[in-house]
Amino acid sequence: MAFIEALTCRECARTYPAEALHVCDYCFGPLEVSYDYEAIAANTTRESVAAGPRSIWRYANLLPATEDGAVDLGAGFTPLLRADRLAAELGLGELWVKNDTLNPTGSFKDRVVSVALARARELGFKVAACASTGNLANSVAAHAARAGMRHYVFIPANLESGKVLMSAVYGHNLIAVEGSYDDVNRLCAELASEHPSWAFVNVNLRTYYAEGSKTLAFETAEQLGWEAPDHVVVPVGSGSQLTKIAKGFRELAKVGLLDAEPSVRVSGAQALGCSPIAQAFADGSDYVRPVKPDTIARSIAIGNPSDGMYVNRIARETGGVVAAVTEQEIVDAMRLLARTEGIFTETAGGVTIGVLAKLARAGRWRGDETVVAYVTGHGLKTADVLTSFNGHASKRVEIEPSMKSFREKVSI
């Protein structure tokens, strides 16, 4: 059973029924799912979670859809890896990497899509749709195929070839729009009002969709032995994921799965080529001025981020920061993570690790805290950057098939 109480406006606290609504009619604030936490607490223990499926649906009581009709490809419960070699290079103490590259379509988006389409089915929708920078397109196409739902997936025309291919393979309608993600998003908002029977996961279903990101916090705490970390570093595009990770840790305390209210410092990571939130943070401003994105980290290249203001509030309130890294730092960090921990991330993960490294160099860490870095997409999706960016990614030694050639050319 889902323990939804209502949808509540984040700004004015007016409440709405749990339908396909995402904006407050009164003040245009975003709507948020509120739950009956007492009922959840009465029905949820660490043991009941542990007995659940090895996917996000082990936390079904804290999600806005039931497990019964879930559109499930096995999203979530990805490894939380202790990263001692990376920690040593950065001068950190206890560092963990949440390896969300291992989701069914290779990114954390499977978490939010699984939740959104489960709720969409409960609400009677037959058609799935989304505006995407790539990873979401992959995930919606895959989950809609799994659910037998028709789908329309909208992407910017200049997307990485790997992401286009991974969306097209599932069939149905992949629509490339000549424009930026923000243009695609605007078009989809118009389409959503013209086609109210379509479940746009990140438009009219956004309130439910966004909740899926809380599972990143739930799993982290469970995998740390039901402890919250001291500090998390999260990649920031729209900012929704960061706000939901913060909400997730608070909820665990509310329903008694954590012993005490955790104080997790939450930091956001952006690419300098699209860093409106980091800029506002540096300026001490609440206003996030939209920018035109120009970065290889396309999965988080959102020039007009919906949750920007909330990201900065959370970072300030918790003692975190929002920082940005250059294109070169992104690629260097992708290589650093691969070289030290054997994890191949896409550019957005390079942004997370890049900011982690930058903060380390700036002396941000004391060395005694538990830090978790969220690596949210697989490197094969953006492999092009490794060859196009002072490309020694494919450096290799070419030899003849003989022992002589091996001895001559390979240093051992």
Alpha helices in 29-160 (DSSP H): 37-43, 46-50, 84-90, 109-122, 135-147
Judged by beta carbon, residue 10 or residue 146, the one nearer Zn ion is: 10
CA distances 317 to 264, 282, 314, Å, are 10, 15, 5
Tokens of 60: 């079904």
Judged by beta carbon, residue 14 or residue 335, the one nearer Zn ion is: 14
Judged by beta carbon, residue 29 or residue 179, the one nearer Zn ion is: 29
Q: How far is the CB of 208 from Zn ion (least distance, A)?
A: 18
Tokens of 299: 């999965």
The amino acid at residue 312 is N
The amino acid at residue 85 is R
Tokens of 66: 């039931």
Q: How far is the CB of 244 from Zn ion (least distance, A)?
A: 19
Q: How far is the CB of 31 from Zn ion (least distance, A)?
A: 8
Q: How far is the CB of 242 from Zn ion (least distance, A)?
A: 22
Judged by beta carbon, residue 20 or residue 321, the one nearer Zn ion is: 20
Binding residues among 11-40 for Zn ion as defined by CB under 5 A:
11-12, 14, 24, 26-27, 29
Alpha helices in 319-374 (DSSP H): 327-341, 347-361
Long-range contacts of 165-170 (CB under 8 A, 24+ apart): 166/105, 166/106, 166/137, 166/138, 166/141, 166/381, 167/132, 167/134, 167/137, 167/138, 167/141, 168/141, 169/141, 170/141, 170/142, 170/144, 170/145
Judged by beta carbon, residue 24 or residue 221, the one nearer Zn ion is: 24
Q: How far is the CB of 192 from Zn ion (least distance, A)?
A: 19
Q: Binding Zn ion by CB under 5 A: which of 4, 7, 9, 280?
A: 9
Tokens of 129: 């749709």
Judged by beta carbon, residue 18 or residue 269, the one nearer Zn ion is: 18
Distance CA 318, CA 398 (A): 52
Does 130 engage in binding with Zn ion (CB under 5 A)? no
Site for Zn ion (CB under 5 A): how many residues? Answer: 8
Q: How far is the CB of 25 from Zn ion (least distance, A)?
A: 8
* Span of 9-17, 132-140, 174-182, 384-392 interacting with Zn ion by CB under 5 A: 9-17
Alpha helices in 171-307 (DSSP H): 181-194, 206-211, 214-223, 240-254, 276-283
Site residues, Zn ion (CB under 5 A)? 9, 11-12, 14, 24, 26-27, 29
